[in-house]
């Protein structure tokens, strides 16, 4: 059987398997298993969410613990999680996850640095320049499961002003990995096109002819065969109608129109009003990278460290998200109150939920032997804070996908204050990472932390 991963890696070539045709087969057809190795994508939002505090209502979590259904999430139409109702049975909504180490001088930086490391925070440098004292889980996955030298994909959608920029991905102690903010460069670098001159790139695009065009004569001959039944011909018609979608989904390139849009925006990809557009473009690159087996782990940070993006809400460009999260027109603790700030924050949470749904839609659009790309991996939407008070307790973690059956999805759980190293252990183990003794990963993060996974989210 042809290895699907090798097919996907073909830059110039194409390959299309015919459907089972009873008139041309003398033996039983057997469906091949999907061969996509489990992967993880981590998407980070800043500034916490609107969940219940002493003075504000819960507008984020589902209203009931336990099983999630499309109907139950749609019934919570005033809550952020309703945006993900289409994927209810594929979700793990986790409350009660906390960072293991307290913040000291800058909650944003020190929260962000613990998101994927579960590591202590440096005292030199400190404040907004603080760094994690250990590697991040995307790095652990990549160094253990990727081909030698292949790093995690590290992307960014937002401004880079220097106060707090990227915070997520670490090669090791204080070794913060730079994140690519330009989706056009990320795409060209990722698929080996960045070294081509303009003429060579245009030639490549011309050579990527339609699979239908390449096999049209063979298709006509096959359809005219007297050995085919009416049902066989209907199967072939349906099959060839789907080939053009297959070209865009399974060959390692994006549609030319999408790439042209990336190129057109690259000089302005950090402009405030382009950040939502760039976010979707980066998600396109992420999904394609996983479909093509480029890496087993990736991150996307949306917004700078304390997200100064000024989102458009109700046709009005608002104050920066950071200021809205503080509920005042100031980046510290002094400033005039922002009217309806918690409602604005809620609407920004919805924007992020819609970005995450876009990622899930993309992953679900890639079809493999026994399921979609989403079925084989896990996508994680997380935050660097819990709420407007910069709390490190109840930091939201929304997982989608069961990592080829390892995770038990379709549930909303309160984990009661578990440190995030155990969640990162569970995700790493789901992908195949091991501990020092060769067992499933259970010792990621700072050495002082209790080892283990989260049994409640592991499928029996």
What pLDDT shows up at residue 450?
A: 97
Tokens linked to 453: 């996974």
Kindly tell me if the per-residue pLDDT of 105 is higher than 90: no
Structure confidence by residue, pLDDT tens digits, 156-194: 999 999 999 999 999 999 999 999 999 999 999 998 776
Query: Which of these ranges, 11-15, 342-346, 406-410, 433-437, has the smallest mean pLDDT?
Result: 11-15
Kindly tell me if the per-residue pLDDT of 433 is higher than 90: yes
With residue 383 as reference, give the H or E element that holds it. Answer: strand 378-383
What pLDDT shows up at residue 284?
A: 98
Q: Provide the residue ranges of all domains of the chain, joining segments of one domain with +.
A: 35-181+269-457
Strand, helix or coil for residue 52: coil
Kindly tell me if the per-residue pLDDT of 35 is higher than 70: no
Kindly tell me if the per-residue pLDDT of 17 is higher than 80: no
What pLDDT shows up at residue 229?
A: 81
Distance from C-alpha of 305 to C-alpha of 128, rounded to nearest angstrom: 9
Closest CA to 95 of 435, 386, 431: 386
Structure confidence by residue, pLDDT tens digits, 264-306: 999 999 999 999 999 999 999 999 999 999 999 999 999 999 9
- What is the pLDDT confidence band of residue 6, given thresholds at 50, 70 and 90? very low
Structure confidence by residue, pLDDT tens digits, 57-71: 999 999 999 999 999
Distance from C-alpha of 59 to C-alpha of 63, rounded to nearest angstrom: 9
**In Å, how far from its chain's centre is CA 38?**
13
What pLDDT shows up at residue 4?
A: 38
Residue 438's CB is within 10 A of a number of other CB atoms, namely 6
What pLDDT shows up at residue 111?
A: 96
**Pair 118, 392: CB distance under 8 Å:** no
Distance from C-alpha of 364 to C-alpha of 62, rounded to nearest angstrom: 23
What mean pLDDT do residues 114-132 have? Answer: 96
Kindly tell me if the per-residue pLDDT of 220 is higher than 90: no
CATH number of 35-181+269-457: 3.40.720
Strand, helix or coil for residue 460: coil
């Amino acid at each position: 059987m042809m290895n699907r991963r090798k097919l996907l890696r073909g830059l110039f070539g194409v390959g299309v398997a015919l459907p089972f045709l009873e008139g041309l087969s003398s033996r039983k057809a057997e469906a091949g298993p999907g061969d996509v190795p489990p992967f993880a994508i981590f998407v980070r939002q800043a500034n916490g969410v609107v969940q219940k505090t002493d003075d504000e209502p819960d507008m984020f979590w589902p209203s009931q613990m336990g099983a999630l259904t499309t109907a139950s999430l749609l019934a919570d139409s005033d809550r952020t999680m309703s945006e993900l109702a289409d994927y209810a049975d594929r979700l793990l909504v986790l409350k009660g996850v906390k960072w293991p180490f307290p913040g000291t001088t800058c909650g944003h930086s020190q929260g962000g640095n613990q998101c994927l490391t579960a590591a202590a925070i440096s005292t030199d440098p400190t404040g907004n320049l603080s760094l994690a004292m250990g590697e991040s889980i995307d790095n652990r996955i990549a160094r253990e499961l990727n081909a030698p030298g292949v790093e995690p994909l590290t992307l960014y959608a937002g401004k880079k002003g220097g106060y707090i920029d990227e915070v997520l991905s670490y090669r090791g102690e204080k070794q913060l990995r730079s994140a690519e903010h330009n989706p056009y460069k990320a795409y060209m670098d990722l698929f080996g096109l960045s070294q081509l001159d303009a003429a060579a790139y245009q030639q490549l695009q011309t050579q990527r002819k339609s699979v239908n065009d390449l096999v049209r004569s063979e298709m006509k001959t096959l359809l005219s065969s007297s050995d085919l039944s009416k049902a066989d011909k209907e199967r072939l018609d349906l099959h060839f109608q789907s080939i053009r979608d297959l070209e865009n989904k399974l060959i390692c390139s994006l549609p030319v129109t999408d790439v042209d849009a990336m190129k057109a925006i690259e000089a302005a990809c950090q402009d405030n009003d382009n950040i939502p557009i760039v976010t979707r473009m980066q998600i396109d690159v992420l999904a394609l990278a996983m479909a093509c087996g480029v890496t087993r782990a990736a991150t996307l940070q949306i917004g700078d460290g304390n997200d100064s993006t000024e989102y458009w809400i109700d046709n009005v460009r608002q104050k920066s998200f950071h200021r809205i999260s503080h509920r005042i027109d100031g980046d510290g603790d002094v400033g005039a109150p922002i009217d309806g700030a918690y409602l604005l924050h809620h609407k920004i949470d919805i924007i992020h939920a819609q970005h995450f749904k876009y990622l899930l839609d993309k992953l679900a659009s890639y079809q493999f032997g026994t399921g979609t790309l989403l079925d084989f991996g896990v996508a994680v939407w997380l935050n660097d804070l819990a709420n407007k008070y910069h709390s490190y307790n109840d930091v939201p973690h929304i997982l989608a996908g069961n990592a080829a059956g390892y995770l038990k999805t379709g549930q909303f759980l309160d984990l009661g204050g578990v440190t995030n190293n155990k969640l990162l252990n569970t995700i790493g183990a789901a992908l195949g990472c091991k501990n020092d003794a060769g067992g499933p990963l259970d010792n990621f993060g700072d050495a002082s932390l209790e080892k283990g996974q989260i049994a409640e989210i592991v499928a029996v």
